[in-house]
Amino acid sequence: MSNLDFQIVKVKEDILIENDKKADSLRKFLKEKGIYFINVMASPGSGKTTLLTRIINALKGKYRIGVLEADIDGDVDAERISKNTGVKVIQVHTSGACHLTAQMVEDALKAFGVDDLDLIILENVGNLVCPAEFDTGSNINMMLLSTSEGHDKPLKYPLMFQVSKIAVISKMDVAEVFDFDISKAKANILYRNPKAKIFALSSIKNEGVDNLINYLDSLIQNSK
């Protein structure tokens, strides 16, 4: 046992505490502006951008929508959203970070401008770990689990499913190809988060998407 006098600094804990404070402040600011904020998280290739295109095109006649596209580098998704929806889009480069913090969101929104918006959608950096740890200041977290990833992912990445009130099972049109068990997937999601609202859909075939859109619409309306 050492007699040396030293201090242990819990860096990650301190970072998360400061992030939560910033997130609460941002949430209050957006509420005062009457803006609803959805944070979308998932693995790369899960179908986030395709699904968001469907959602945005369905809601853009009712709400003024802005999209934050977060990636380590590149602007492919921002270009796709802009081209296919025509809504206001800003690309956020994280310079190597695997997630967005509340401060990064605030900085992006300042550059973006929010006075002409009713709804903000963040497509977070693609992975099932880091984004779940950082509160972005959103009203709600929505995550995607694609059938190509397997029905066991809620057991392997618990936090992502615990912090997401909406769990979307995407790419149902190829579920059989990947031997994806929808019953096990739902059970695993509810094991991590008994209150999760689960939607199984195919964005490509536009099957089940309307149910999700209607639910999001109801959340936005009830937040007013």
- Is the CATH code 3.90.226.10 the one for domain 35-222? no
pTM greater than 0.75 = yes
Q: What is the pLDDT of residue 7?
A: 54
Closest C-alpha among 165, 145, 166, 158 to residue 192:
158
> Per-residue pLDDT tens for 118-153?
999 999 999 999 999 999 999 999 999 999 999 999
49 within 8 A of 152, measured Cβ to Cβ: no
Q: How confident is the model at residue 72 (pLDDT cuts 50, 70, 90)?
A: confident
Q: What is the pLDDT of residue 15?
A: 75
DSSP structure class, residue 207: B
Q: How confident is the model at residue 87 (pLDDT cuts 50, 70, 90)?
A: very high
> Domain spans of the chain?
35-222
Q: What is the chain's mean pLDDT, rounded?
A: 92
Asked if pLDDT for residue 168 goes beyond 80, the answer is: yes
Strand 65-71 relative to strand 197-200, pairing: unpaired
**107, two tokens:** 């900085």
Strand 197-200 relative to strand 119-123, pairing: unpaired
**149, two tokens:** 């990833």
Q: How confident is the model at residue 3 (pLDDT cuts 50, 70, 90)?
A: low
- Give the Cα separation of 211 and 169 in Å (integer): 13
82, amino acid identity: S
* Mean pLDDT score, 91-106: 87
Percent over 70 (pLDDT), the chain: 94
- Give the Cα separation of 99 and 2 in Å (integer): 38
